[in-house]
Amino acid sequence: MRFYGVILLRLALAMLLAVIIGADRERHDKPAGLRTIAMVGVGGCLFGLLATMAFVGDASSRVVQGLVTGVGFLGAGTIIKERSRIEGLTTAATIWTVSGIGLAVGMGWYALAIMAAMAVVFVLTALRHFEARRRKAAGEPPAPDTIED
């Protein structure tokens, strides 16, 4: 029964961290919002659990490699090029990073996952405001990810 408790704890933590990050994307009406980001985090956790509990040796690392590659394709779907503007890069990077956070939780690296989630939240919130101020001071139009709500 303890085994299932560990699985449940890891899935819950991965989902919580992803929901915190996804809430920012949802609030700013990005293509991948709360549910998508939560699914990416839980999916990363699931693959981390499988890599550590169901496979040994090289097979475990191939699970991780497959996740990183597969999530790259998912993130690529959020990138849109329109004329000279490219949108969705931050969302794509967020999807990729959240999969890594979920993977870290699934493999039992809780502190790493929590610190990475804190770094992502900092990048998505504090740096958004910094970038908006810098663009305004330079007389540049706001970037899609820095438009204030």
What's the rounded Cα separation, in Å, for the pair 46 and 56?
16
Domain ranges, residue 34: 2-146
Q: How high is the pLDDT of residue 1?
A: 58
Average confidence (pLDDT) over 29-41 = 90
Residues 74, 40 contacting (CB under 8 angstroms): yes
Q: How high is the pLDDT of residue 119?
A: 97
Query: Which of 45-54, 55-64, 77-86, 115-124 has the lowest average pLDDT?
Result: 77-86
Q: Which phi and psi angles does 84 have, rounded to 5°?
A: -100, 5
What's the rounded Cα separation, in Å, for the pair 142 and 144?
6
Q: How confident is the model at residue 79 (pLDDT cuts 50, 70, 90)?
A: confident
What's the rounded Cα separation, in Å, for the pair 126 and 103?
25
Average confidence (pLDDT) over 114-140 = 87
Q: Which phi and psi angles does 104 have, rounded to 5°?
A: -60, -45
Query: Which of 2-6, 10-14, 131-135, 142-146 has the lowest average pLDDT?
Result: 142-146
Label residue 106 exposed, middle or buried (CB < 10 Å: 0-12, 13-18, 19+): buried
Domain count, the chain: 1
